[in-house]
Chain A
Amino acid sequence: MVASIYLDITSQAAIAGREIQDLSNQVIVVEQVNADLQSHLAEITSADAMEQRAASLGYAPADSTKLAFVLVPGFQAPAPEILVATQTLRPSAASMRPEYSESLISWLGRQLNGLGSPASGGAQ
């Protein structure tokens, strides 16, 4: 019985490990795709590409003779503070649940302790 319990826990841990590995690989792939998309976006909006697109649409570079300044009393253009789309904080992987790292004896001890203490949780 002990052997079968141990085998069950070990197999669960192995499956969880494999799932973590798969998720890690997915994260890497998504990050790569994200970087590729950012790079592609930067390429199609590069200075050269935008200039060509503007020219094809009939726009021409402005010169000072074609500019008109309009005075707006009290207006002051705000300076941009955040210039780059910042990445969100990426937390460290959540700590492992004890089931995946504790020994059988520790698990038994925890279960026995749990029997002695009142049940937690429940509806409020």
Chain B
Amino acid sequence: MRERYAWRSLAIAVLLAFIAVSVILQIIRIQTGPEADVFRALGLDYGRVPKTFYPERGAIYDRNGHMLAGSKTVYEVGVQLSEAVDKPAIAITAGNVLGINAQDLQGKMEEPPAGLQYLVLEDYVESDQAGELRQLQKTSIALAAQGQASRLRGLVLTAHPQRDYPEGALASNVLGFVSREGRGYFGVEEKYNSLLAGKPVRVWVPTDPNKAADIPRVPDGTTLVLTIDRELQASVEQILDQALEKYEAQHGTIVALNPKDGSILALASSPRMDPNQFWNYGVVYQNASEFDRALSLPYEPGSVFKVLTMAAALDSGTVVPSTPFLDTGTIQVGGATIHNWDDKAWGQQDMIGCLQHSLNVCLASVAESMGAQTFYRYMNRFGIGHLTGTDLAGEAAGRLKVPGDSDWYPVDLATNAFGQGVSVTPLQVITAATAVANDGRMVVPHVLYAMVRDGRQYRVPAQYSGSPVSPETAHTLSQMLAVSLENESSGALVPGYRIAGKTGTAQIPGPVGYEEGATNASFIGWGPVDDPQFMIYVWLERPSTSIWGSETAAPVFSDVAKKLVLLMSIPPDSVRAEIARP
């Protein structure tokens, strides 16, 4: 009997041992076989989840540390459908707080798309509304009967950051905006998008706490400090808006920069939009080039271009300030007749008189004497027809026809000399003119003053884009322009400060020739002449009260300059002379 049971026991033991050995052999086979890597990879996938850490977008400050763009917390309001026990209550509560139709919300919750577990009711909800919803959730939990779920169970509030512009529309043409997807459009936001946005880090986070890895450090996006002065920007925008109203101009642009280093102090362009409500972009602008007219919208500048023509003529030795010119009121070039702006003959003049009275005939004659090759070589040096290299997105290059182009004619040399038949942006003209105010050296206009990253501030050095004219030419022309303004008793003059500058009134080309009675009024000027610390460009489109730059753009220049010397603490010439006295 015992032997029989012994055999049974032995047989069962052998069977179990066989099974155990088989299991072990199978384990070894699986772990060492060809499919081992596949199983290992599958195991790894089950043991970890991918997670992307997004850095916080860098802030933007003005040159004095005032925040122009930052981040604020907004909320996504959604419903976990499987947990929602009282959908009508959620719909009514969320509808009342968020100002949405409750019946629509309830309909969405009652009939969600197949397979949907979580439904977004509203996104980008302000924190005060989210706080109200949270409070109602707490109240609902407190009122719920013992052992029963809250009526608002399933309502989920998820916080996430949103770009915020605390100054509203101020400097919006410079800043641009950020879409809900986090991408920057226009201005600084687009140009420095990758720096501001930072680099997202994607890591595999183990689900097994035994394998908990270090939390990756995701550096925030780079913070930018701009050269813009907030107070000056606000004043310039205010002056521009008043000028548009006063002169009944359709649009306008004002750029103020430091001609020594190219730092843009203020840049105003109309129209402006509040970047906090970037979805209004399509309502405010018809096309992208209108967002910042100073750098995206080329136009025929008119007589402000004579500054560059005269600079080229002086530097090439074609003329000197005292070179005489007998103005007969017309000149024939390439089979076309060129007239002065008033169709009159101004008689005997010198080069200062030509600038003072803005004589087209004189400048056309000077350009002819210079020759097309020399003239266009200088224009090329001044960067006309090329991008300035500014650090704002959306810059246009304009167009300068040159000999050899199929649409260039000899008359273009004459018209180009007084700023017609050539399209430039205000930023191009002001950049070219920095050479005249800055001892012949042309600067690259920029808005980035410094970057702050990982607690360190990096200054951005000024960049120069060549020396189109000599320092002597620059000084001579500055004096000529200052004298011409003084002789003219220009509306651009600023009491206490010596200013150099030039007006411009340009006809506007239409589909068939130039439009009658419509002009672009411009003014470019800088000061103080002996030590230029600011340069201002004004462009008013189609002013109605007067078509002349001298009566519209020049006074606007004066208003901006008066404000600028106050805000930038630039003492009058007499005070500076006293300071300089040993």
Contacts and interface: CB of A to CB of B under 8 A. Distances in A.
Nearest to B171: A47
Q: How large is the interface on A (under 10, 10 to 19, 20 to 34, 35 or more residues)?
A: 35 or more
Interface string A85-98: 11111111101100
B572 interface: yes
Interface string A42-75: 1101111001000000000011100101010000
Nearest to A67: B566
Interface stretch (B70-78, B350-358, B547-555): B70-78
Interface string B62-99: 01111100111100000000000000000000000000
A16 B71 contact: no
A64 B212 contact: no
B181 interface: no
A108 interface: no
A86 B225 CA distance: 11
Interface in B549-582: 562, 565-566, 569, 571-572, 575, 578-579
B75 to A, nearest CB: 11
Contacts of A39: 67, 70-72, 164, 166
A63 B565 CA distance: 10
B61 A64 contact: no
Given A32-B161, A82-B457, A100-B210, A47 B71 contact: no
A31 to B, nearest CB: 7
Contacts of B40: none
Contacts of A26: none
A48 B566 contact: no
Nearest to B209: A17
A33 B64 CA distance: 24
Given A13-B209, A13-B210, A93-B217, A86 B456 contact: yes
What does DSSP make chain B's interface, helix, strand, loop or mixed? mixed
Contacts of A32: 73, 159, 161
Contacts of B569: 77
Contacts, number: 129
A15 to B, nearest CB: 8
A83 B214 contact: no
B50 interface: no
B26 to A, nearest CB: 24
Interface in A71-124: 71, 77, 80-93, 95-96, 100-101
Given A14-B209, A62-B566, A101-B210, A35 B575 contact: no
Contact of B578 (A71, A92, A100): A71
A86 B170 contact: no
A82 B65 CA distance: 9
A42 B66 contact: yes
B56 interface: yes
Contacts of B456: 86
29 contacts: A10-B210, A16-B212, A18-B209, A24-B215, A31-B56, A38-B70, A41-B67, A42-B166, A46-B166, A47-B66, A48-B168, A48-B170, A62-B566, A63-B562, A64-B495, A69-B571, A69-B575, A81-B457, A82-B457, A83-B64, A83-B457, A86-B457, A89-B455, A92-B217, A93-B215, A93-B217, A96-B214, A100-B210, A101-B212
Interface of A: 10, 13-14, 16-18, 20, 24, 29, 31-33, 35-36, 38-43, 45-48, 51, 62-64, 67, 69, 71, 77, 80-93, 95-96, 100-101
